Every structure is written in C-alpha cells, then in structure tokens.
Amino acid sequence: MATNPLLSGDSRFTIDNIPFGVISTKQDPTPRCAAAIGDFAIDLAKFAGDSRLDSIIGQNAATDIFSKPCLNSFAALERETRRAVRAALQLDIQDELIPPHCLVKLADVTMHLPFSIGGYSDFYCSLEHVQNCSPLAGVANIPESWFYAPSVYNGRVSSVVPSATPIRRPRGVYHGPDGKPVYGPSRALDFELEMGVFVSKPIDFASVLDIRDVEEHVFGFVLLNDWSARDLQVFEMKPLGPFHGKGFGTSISPWVVTMEALDPFKCSPKTKQNPAPFDHLKWPGPAGTFDINLEVELIRAGKVVKICSSNLRYLYWTPYQQLAHHASAGCGLSTGDLIGTGTISGDNVAEDGRKTELGCLFEATVGGTKEAELSDGTRMTYLEDGDEIVLKGTCGVKGGSAPFVDFGECRGIITPALSS
Amino acid sequence: MATNPLLSGDSRFTIDNIPFGVISTKQDPTPRCAAAIGDFAIDLAKFAGDSRLDSIIGQNAATDIFSKPCLNSFAALERETRRAVRAALQLDIQDELIPPHCLVKLADVTMHLPFSIGGYSDFYCSLEHVQNCSPLAGVANIPESWFYAPSVYNGRVSSVVPSATPIRRPRGVYHGPDGKPVYGPSRALDFELEMGVFVSKPIDFASVLDIRDVEEHVFGFVLLNDWSARDLQVFEMKPLGPFHGKGFGTSISPWVVTMEALDPFKCSPKTKQNPAPFDHLKWPGPAGTFDINLEVELIRAGKVVKICSSNLRYLYWTPYQQLAHHASAGCGLSTGDLIGTGTISGDNVAEDGRKTELGCLFEATVGGTKEAELSDGTRMTYLEDGDEIVLKGTCGVKGGSAPFVDFGECRGIITPALSS
C-alpha cells in the first residue's frame, strides 16, 4: 500500500474523500468532470471513455455525463449510482487500476465552477454571528422570526466564482465621513466564513420537501467565502436586504466533498433549539449536522496569519433544516443549486481574552470601530487591496487510521476598485 | 393591405410590434423561437430553415439560434443584426412572403419562458408604492437610501413561470390570529403589477456599465406579476428582505416586446428626481423611460373586474437607471437575465374618491385591514383560491395610423395550498 503513488500520507485527498470537480489543463483546455485522489485528479471523461464505468452507468457515460463542463448530469443520477461510481473509483485506486493517462497532477489543473448554478441562496443561521451582528446593524434584539425559521436571502449567481478568482473591490453608495451618501470604492471589505451545499435531486416548482428525504437531495459540501462590503450593505439593507454589499463576489472551493465522504462525521448541532422547530423542520434523529473544522487565514504582504477557526456544527439551524425550509414554500430547487450556510461563528475565548471563532471582520472589529488583534499580534480592520483570504476545512485527523477528509482551499485576493 | 391576413385591424400584434417568444405546438412539441404578427406566430426555426435569414445571420441561423428553446442566442447577437431580422420580418409580412408552413395560429401554440434566465432581480422604485407601503410595514419614513440608488433584491429564478402557469398558494411561517408564529397556508395572497426587462448584451463579472450604453444591453420588456404572500413576507423581511413571501411564483407575459417596438413611446419620467442622481445614474437626455399603459383585471367566479391601471413612466427610478445601478458593483449580467421594475403605482383619485392606480392589494386594502372597493362595487381583501389575475399593457391607441403595441397578457390562477 505504501508504494501506491495515489495514497501517499502527505497528499491532500485521501481514499476516504474522493471529491468531485471540474478541471481543464493546458494540453486539454475543455472543462470536464474529475475526481481527486492524493495529489492527482482523475479525468473522468477519459476514465469513462475507457469503458471503466459502463457496468454502472452505461456506455454513454463519458459523453453524456463526464465530458460536460459541470457536475450537474452526474449529480442528477440516483444516489445509489453515484455511490457505486465512487466505490468503483476507490477500488481501482487501491488496486492501482486507474489508467495513467487518466491522471493529472493537481498542480497542473485549472479548476472551474463545479456546477452550472441555477440558484444561489445564502442563510444567516449562526446564533453567535447574529448575536454579534445585530447590535452593530442597529437591531436591539434578534428578530423573533430568526428562531422560527432559518433566515435567508437570494444571492447573485453570476458572482459565484471558483477559488483563486481575484475579487475586485466594488464601488457603491454608502455614508461618507461627513454622513452624506457618496458613491465610491468600498472602505469596509470583509470576508465571511461559510460552507456551501450543492443540490443533487431536484424539487419541483410548487412542491415541498419532507425533511426525512433531505439526504437524497444533497450532493455535497464546499467552502464558501461570502465577500461583503459592509458600508454598501449597511446603506442598502433597509428594507430589501443585502444586494451589492454581497453581490460583487462569492468564492467557493472547487472540489465538492460528497455526503458519502462526510458520513463518518455526522454529529449533533452544538446548540439545542428553543423554541422547538415546526414539524416540517424537525430532524428525525440526533445527528443532523457534520463535524467539520474550519479555518481562515489572511495573507498580507507575504505573511500568513490565522484569523479564526470554527466548526459547521456550531450552526443553530443545520444545513438539512435550511434545505427543508428553502423548499417549503414551493420555489423549486434544481440540480446544481447552491446554498450558503451563512457565516459560522463560535464563542471561544482564548487565554489572552481574544475571541478566536468570529467568522468575519465585521464581528472581530465590532463593526469596523476597533482593530482586531490576531494571534501573532497583527492588528487589522477591514481588507486592503492585495490581501488574500484562504478558507480551509477538514474532518478528522490527518495520518491516523480513522477517516480524514480535506476540503482543499477557497482563496481570493482583493484587487483595486475600477477608477470610475 | 386590408386583405393581408396577418395585418387585420382586430388582431393582437401589429406590424409596429413583432414581439419574440418561444412556442411549441401539439404537432411539434419541441420549444423553438418565434415572432408574433396579427393572430399568428411565425416559427423562426422553420423560417430560417427556409434560408430566409441567411443574408443577415448566416446559413446556420435555424440550427444555432432559432431552434433553441430560448431567445438567448438571438438576444446575444449585435443589436443591428436583431434589428435587421425584425425589419426583414416586417417587409416579408407586408409583402405576404411569409411561407404558410411557418405560420401557426396563436390559439394553437403553447408559450414557454422566452429566455433561459440566469439571474432575476426585482426593484422597488415607485415613489407612490413605497409611500403607501412603508407605514404598513412599520417604517415611519422612506429610508434615505431609497432616494440615492434604486432599491432592489435578488429574486428566485426557479419560480419565474410563463403566463397561464397556475400559482399554488404557498405555506409558510407568519403570525397567527393570537400573535404566535404558525406554519400554514398564506392568508394574504397578493399580486404586484410590474414590468420585466430582459438583458441582451452581457456585462462581465467585475465590470460596470456606462448608463449611456444601456440601450445596447436591453432586449425588451414583458409584463410581470410579482405574486406576494404578505403574511410570510412581513414575518421574514427583517433583516434579510423578502424570500418565501415572493419566491413561490413570478409570472411573465411570454412575448417580449423589443426596444425597437418601444422606440416611438420614449418619454420622460413623471417625477423629477430630488436629490439629483449620482453621475453614474444620470440619463443623458429627457426621454429616459416609456409611455406604457398598464392594467390589472381580477376574474372571480367568472366575472371580470378591473382592479387598477398604471403606467411605466410613473416609476421614480427608470429601468435604465435600474440596470446601470445593478451593474455598478461588478456582479455581472448575462444575456437572458430578468429585471423586475418593482410595483408601478400612481396617485390618481377617481371622482368617487377611490384610488385607481394602486399596483397591489397590500396598498388597496391598507395592509389587509380594510376592503378595497373596485369600480363595479366588488369588495375584496386578498386573493382567494380560484381567483385569476390578468395583467395587460399597451402603447398608443389601437386602430389609428400611429404605432400601437400590445404586450399580450400575463395571467395566473390561484390554486389551493398543499395539504401539508
């Protein structure tokens, strides 16, 4: 086993993981589907073209499913079929049967958006985050509605980009130093630590989703950075909610970690819900979320500094509840729709008094009114041009015998605003 | 001329109009592009297949553009090319050169969504509407931001449906009679009289739009009914804006009226903007909007009653300003993106004291607290199961020598909520 080049202990993607994504290379610039193992991508168009998946999904798999520039056709297959594809890949990896011409080094691939995304919605479901943000947004108490249904808005699909896409500082309207509205480059650029959920099986328009069936409808998870311009956002929020304050860029990690890979990390949420949720949002078991460790790094002037850590299970409303709520009024959901979990903050306080689990700078800088102090003494308020933010996520511990899953990275660097 | 069967004075679509849409028929259920004239659709896949547009857009027009199930490929062509197609159609119609096998009676076609819609945003830009709604939503004054930029939220693309699609009453969370939150069928179902704008030339992610170029980016206009569940909406609005209260259905008229057809109806907006808009929202001329007469009818128990009339030019922020604002933060816009103008209300008071230009029942019933009285004495609050709402729109006067343009209809009937 130790000599299997795909199963090196140092490499990023373990046999427990097998995430899916969309790749291209210099030699073959046509985007197509892939899976990741070790430090390699398996080109699934080529792999299926070699008839290695015919027994599972038929002879046209390469053309109809894996040669597409998105995972939508694959994700629309029955869950059992997708499971079988993943299991077949795992077997062939272990038996060293992946044909070499199907393997591309991760260092040599360009990653694309994994899905053709028809809808993108973003939630607001961390109790710690809403507790911290409400007073800063001039809201004395958390709205009652927040405790009765997961709070959510529609995001802007055209602004969802894969990791490594530069994020241009947006121009917009906000209150200038003298209190008068001005139009100019945002002065309060922020990140938000979130995860994203991709829908597999669709839900018809005018239909709803029984929460007991929710797992059938989730393809997998990615890291998601909901870049935010706080000055634009505060100016525009009343009464219709965020628009340009969020709509200039949302970055996602390009490898989608499947429900199968996450299965060993099922757990209960951190917080008991009170009041008890309505029946249609009640999860019929204890393990309704996942234990996913999250981390944010800032790269400023070449120096890497950790900004915060967090965990998906901190969310008050779980991703399953979010999806059930989303479907409950009949809007319909399509394969490839993306759901942002909302910023995931925690309440840990370090020995030196610093809050280490605040998932955005709006919280860490108390609405931009004071500097945040990072673990190495770095002081910062909002993001500067040239700053790079890196989101990371893992399940389990690397190198042991128990399963370990790495989400890869979600990166973005801030570029200057247009001059006009 | 009088004998040309496509130019009958009684028929719906005049030679001044030539709207575009997507049709199918019983005989040929594959959706494809069409134009409308008189009481007929011109099947553009067949028309181009006869090589009648080769000189304008080449020999592959039928396959590459008009055989598609949406107008996106056509709308992505240069404006001059689209103009030439329209002019060629007008000439052939007048010269009775449209081959009979390309004509289908409108009564025999099924209409589909005209575009594959990647993004749908909905504005809130009528001063009368915001003046009437703000106090009902517990907002004492119109937010200052409303006067500095067109207010807007992202809508739900999956819920945009063509006219005649039934609208199911949604279930959702709202305050029950005892003030406690309940989950059940909406009791405050409303329509909203709007128009929709379809984008032609795209605007790249991280780029902006110079308002002087805006006409290049608009394909045309449709009627749009932004169905609203006021109880769900009021419950969920704070702080992220509308979601399920709007996301269960948005109906549009299926024939898109082009900028060319609307050209004779350019006019100035009703209201002078104060404060003056920022430079990037300043329209460089007087005629920044269109004189489009709008009307809403209710069909209840077989009886047709007019609910209100209005006009696009009443909007405080014009569609061009909306588009320039939409693009200003770099979100990117794609061909086929849909922009809702927001409810278009006016301030006319009839001799009997009734306000006749309120574009939704939330206004006409003062937030559901009193019955609205219609012109024939009908009294109503919100929509009941079985109610049908019909939006109509016209420019000019039918039957004269001056141009006349009819938008057709945008209909929807309310069906009962799911039982659970």
Is B145–A236 a contact, with Cβ atoms under 8 angstroms apart? Answer: yes
Q: Tell if the CB–CB gap between A173 and B238 is shorter than 8 Å.
A: no
Q: Does A81 carry a binding-site annotation? A: no
Phi and psi for A212 in degrees, rounded to 5?
A: -70, -15
Contact A248 B206 (CB under 8 A): yes
Contact A271, A127 (CB under 8 A): yes
Positive or negative torsion for Cα A26, A28, A31, A36: negative
Pick from A134, A173, A229: which is nearest to B149 by CB?
A173
- A120-415 falls under which CATH superfamily? Fumarylacetoacetase-like, C-terminal domain (3.90.850.10)
pLDDT of A138 > 70? The answer is yes
Q: CATH: 2.40.50.90, 3.30.2020.30, 2.40.50.140, 2.30.30.230. Which one for B5-112? A: 2.30.30.230
**A297 known ligand binder:** no
Residue to mutate among B173, B232, B250, B274, with most A CBs inside 10 A, is: B173
Query: Residue A249 and residue B137: Cβ atoms within 8 Å?
Result: no
- As a whole number, the mean pLDDT across chain A is 96
Give chain A positions within 8 Å (CB) of B333.
Answer: 158
DSSP letter, residue A388: E
The encoded tokens of residue B109 equal 């076609």
Smallest CA–CA distance, residue B127 to chain A, in Å, is: 14
B230-278, pLDDT tens digit by residue?
999 999 998 899 999 999 999 999 999 999 999 999 999 999 999 999 9
Q: How far is CA A342 from the centre of its chain?
A: 10
pLDDT band at A1 (very low <50, low <70, confident <90, very high): very low
Nearest CA distance, B15 vs chain A (angstrom) = 36
**Rounded to a whole number, what is the distance in Å from the CA of B402 to chain A's nearest CA?**
41
Residues of chain A contacting residue B152, judged by C-beta atoms under 8 Å apart: 240, 243
Residues of A forming the active site: 129
CB spacing of A241 vs B242 below 8 angstroms: yes
Which secondary-structure segment (H or E) carries A225? strand A218-225
Residue B149 has pLDDT above 80, yes or no: yes
User: Would the CB atoms of A337 and B158 count as touching at under 8 Å?
Assistant: yes
Among the partner-chain residues A153, A206, A249, the one whose CB lies closest to the CB of B168 is A206
Chain B partners within 8 Å of A137 (Cβ): 239
The continuous run of DSSP H or E covering B394 comes out as strand B388-395
pLDDT at A241 over 70: yes
Query: Which active-site residues of B does the annotation give?
Result: 129
Average pLDDT rounded to a whole number, residues B57-76: 93
Q: Do A247 and B168 touch (CB under 8 A)?
A: no
Contact between A331 and A217 under an 8 Å Cβ cutoff? The reply is no
A25 among annotated binding-site residues: no
| CA dist B14 → B7, B86, B399, B405 (Å) | 7, 13, 10, 7
Q: 10 Å Cβ neighbour count for B164?
A: 15
Stretch A134-161: mean pLDDT, rounded?
93
pLDDT in tens, A196-238: 999 999 999 999 999 999 999 999 999 999 999 999 999 999 8
Q: Which helix (H) or strand (E) holds B54?
A: helix B54-57
Name the token pair of B91. 């000439």
Q: Is residue A124 a known part of a binding site?
A: yes
Q: Which residues of B touch A192 (CB under 8 A)?
A: none
Q: What is the mean pLDDT of residues B112-135?
A: 96
What are the residues whose beta carbons fall under 8 Å from the beta carbon of B357, sequence distance 6 or more? B128, B308, B309, B310, B314, B345, B346, B347, B348
B246 is in an annotated binding site: yes
Give the pairing type, strands B40-43 and B289-290: unpaired
- The burial class, CB within 10 Å (0-12 / 13-18 / 19+), for B56 is middle
User: Which residues share a beta bridge with B221?
Assistant: B197, B257
The counts of H helices and E strands in chain A are 10, 26
Which 3 state secondary structure label does DSSP give B34?
strand
Please judge whether B206 and A168 are an interchain contact, meaning their C-beta atoms are less than 8 angstroms apart.
yes
Chain B residue closest to A154 (CA)?
A: B154
CB A254 within 8 A of CB A11: no
CB contact under 8 A, A238 and B143: yes
Whole-angstrom distance, CA of residue A414 vs CA of residue B7: 58
User: CB neighbours (10 Å) of residue B238?
Assistant: 20
Give the whole-angstrom CA distance, residue A403 versus residue A14. Answer: 8
Backbone angles phi, psi at A382, to 5 degrees: -100, 180
Looking at CA atoms only, how far is residue B57 from chain A in angstroms?
27
- From the list B143, B333, B420, the residue facing A239 with the nearest CB is B143
Answer yes or no: is pLDDT of A398 > 60.
yes
pLDDT at res. B61: 81
Q: Residue A342: which of A324, A356, A322, A362 has the closest Cα?
A: A322
- Residues of A within 8 A of B181 (CB-CB) are 144-145, 148
Task: For domain A5-111, give the CATH number.
Answer: 2.30.30.230
Q: What is the pLDDT of residue A3?
A: 82
Query: Dmax over Cα atoms in chain A, in whole Å?
Result: 69
Q: Residue ranges of the domains in chain A?
A: 5-111, 120-415
Nearest to B159 among A279, A328, A332 (CB): A332
Q: How do residues B324-349 score in pLDDT, each as one tens digit?
A: 999 999 999 999 999 999 999 999 99
